[in-house]
DNA sequence: TAGTGGTCTAGACCACAAT
DNA sequence: TTGTGGTCTAGACCACTAC
């Protein structure tokens, strides 16, 4: 029959039922109440016990299947894969990543001004050449050691960065508060040698290997909102991601 | 009202209707028949025209929303984001990536033997220390230029590599044919200097920056099936990925 | 044969955005 | 107020797996 996860539903909550199911199932897996390899009670039975229709139950479980936490096999049942799979790579800024990891960090704003878009920016941000864009350069330290040199560009009508304290607040937090909803981003990760300036700022030797990341982020309307060109000390940073085959 | 995509359904096909819808919508977007910013006809009307129920229609469109090709706004409608968003980073091997890009490539098998798992492999592949695992090292050339040095490890009971022609066939293709269904993978991308051997094999100078990628792949039962430790010439390869915020 | 997930239907009511 | 997507129901039939 399979394990019976403990799930309570609040039908007066604005949170969708399928999401309540998914959240509580996920917690049970992370808690260890549901161990890897456990078979979960079948969909029909589970839906009946919770007073849900089967499609709603399925929708909730599907979220966890998409995350790689559950595996369904036709004719067999649904099994817990395990909580060790990291979250699918989410759309977060480095600031968020570090803040949530509890590392002490500090950011120095090297420059923040409006420039005219050149050819490259015109392509990446989908604006005409010569259009005004914010150019923002920051150096980030973690545990008092230089870590990343970040160069961001944003069309000026996306957000006003005048007087914004970007040393304390992450760029993505500023964007969120300005009502910008980031939705998709294209990233390119590569490597190259540090030039003289990068080496000096990052406390490396010239020619040292750097991890590079460029990213264009789009809002929910499909508009290019931000283009970032960042370099990281290769000895202090790696990009981690989880791929899920559907 | 919005654009009316041209979609034909084959109800006798074993391909699910929602998938037929998604595939044809996607092609229309990539073709340019549906341009970025276009509003698609609303779900209800579209379902009616195709003789589908609304949930089935939604399921098809949801696939493209998840891929970042479409954006839905409550009270507004569904819009095409654009074909320029690359596919969400899928679980493909480098062999697949290159083959689909049409680049002429050649692979040299440097070694293929069974070794005993050390501590690191024990952790990554979730097998006891000392267990036999395949150790496979390959050098890949693209357009007659060295490109990547790939080291893979697999538990011996996953697949038998004796006599398998890994110069012609990609490792993932071999795994698929052996009935292994890859499902999720954790990747770590970083950078470091080339050591003497890597430099020689890749035609680089010692100390040149390399892009590194390690990956553990799990099958549909959550079992670790393959661990790869690869290095790429940084001047010839970057990792591209698309992030979608949900 | 029995049990499971995969797909599909034909509706319903609600929340939100534009008008 | 109208139109849109968001959610949900109560079934149905099928394909695959294990026994």
Q: Which nucleotide has the least CA–C1' distance to A73?
A: C5
In angstroms, the Cα distances linking B134 to A122, A223, B167 are 49, 47, 16
Helix (H, G, I), strand (E, B) or coil at B43: helix
Q: How far apart are the first and last CA of chain B?
A: 26
**Of A115 and A217, more confident:** A115
pLDDT, mean of residues B154-162: 90
Mutate to test the interface with A, among B73, B191, B223 (most CBs of A within 10 A): B191
What are the pLDDT digits (tens) for B160-203? 888 888 888 888 888 877 878 777 787 888 999 999 999 999 99
pLDDT at B85 over 50: no
The rounded Cα A116 to chain-centroid distance in angstroms is 29
Question: What pLDDT does residue B95 have?
Answer: 56
Q: Which nucleotide is nearest to A77 (CA to C1')?
A: C4
Q: Which has more pLDDT, B65 or A181?
A: B65
pLDDT in tens, B29-63: 888 888 877 888 889 999 989 999 999 999 999 98
How many CB atoms neighbour CB A6 within 10 A?
Answer: 11
Q: Which of residues 164-223 of B touch strand C (CB under 7 A)?
A: none
Token digits of residue A17 = 């039922």
pLDDT band at A82 (very low <50, low <70, confident <90, very high): low
Other CB atoms within 10 Å distance of the CB of residue B113: 9
A70 touches strand C (CB under 7 A): no
Any strand D atom closer than 7 Å to B73 CB: yes
Averaged pLDDT, A113-123: 93
A53 touches strand D (CB under 7 A): yes
- Collect all residues with Cβ–Cβ distance below 8 Å to B223 and sequence separation of at least 6: B126
Backbone angles phi, psi at A33, to 5 degrees: -60, -35
Residue A100 has pLDDT above 60, yes or no: no
A74 touches chain B (CB under 8 A): no
Chain A, 163-222: which have a CB under 8 Å from a chain B CB?
A: 182-193, 207-211, 218, 220-222
Are the beta carbons of A41 and A4 closer than 8 angstroms? yes
Query: Per-residue pLDDT averaged across B125-137, rounded?
Result: 93
Read off the pLDDT of residues A31-42 as tens digits, 9 standing for 90 and up. 888 887 788 888
What's the confidence (pLDDT) of residue A185?
79
pLDDT of residue A233: 92
Name the token pair of A91. Answer: 């759309």
Identify which has the larger pLDDT, A166 or B133.
Answer: B133
Whole-number average pLDDT of chain B: 84
Residue range B212-234: mean pLDDT, rounded: 87
């Amino acid at each position: 029959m399979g394990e019976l996860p403990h799930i309570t539903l609040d039908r007066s909550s604005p949170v969708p039922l399928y999401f309540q199911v998914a959240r509580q199932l996920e917690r049970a897996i992370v808690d260890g109440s549901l161990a890897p390899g456990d078979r979960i009670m079948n969909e029909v039975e589970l839906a009946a016990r919770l007073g849900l229709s089967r499609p709603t139950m399925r929708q909730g479980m599907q979220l966890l299947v998409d995350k790689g936490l559950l595996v369904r096999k036709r004719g067999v049942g649904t099994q817990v894969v395990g909580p060790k799979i990291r979250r699918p790579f989410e759309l977060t800024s480095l600031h968020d990543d570090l803040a949530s990891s509890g590392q002490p960090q500090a950011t120095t704003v090297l420059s923040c001004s409006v420039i005219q878009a050149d050819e490259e920016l015109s392509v990446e941000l989908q604006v005409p050449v010569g259009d005004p864009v914010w150019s923002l350069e920051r150096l980030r330290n973690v545990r008092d050691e230089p870590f990343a040199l970040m160069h961001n560009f944003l069309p000026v009508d996306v957000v006003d960065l005048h007087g914004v304290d970007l040393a304390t607040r992450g760029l993505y937090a500023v964007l969120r508060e300005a009502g910008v909803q980031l939705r998709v981003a294209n990233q390119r990760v590569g490597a190259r040698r540090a030039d003289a300036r990068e080496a000096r700022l990052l406390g490396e030797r010239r020619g040292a290997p750097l991890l590079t990341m460029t990213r264009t982020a789009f809002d929910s309307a499909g508009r290019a909102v931000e283009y970032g060109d960042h370099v990281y000390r290769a000895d202090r940073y790696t990009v981690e991601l989880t791929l899920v085959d559907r």
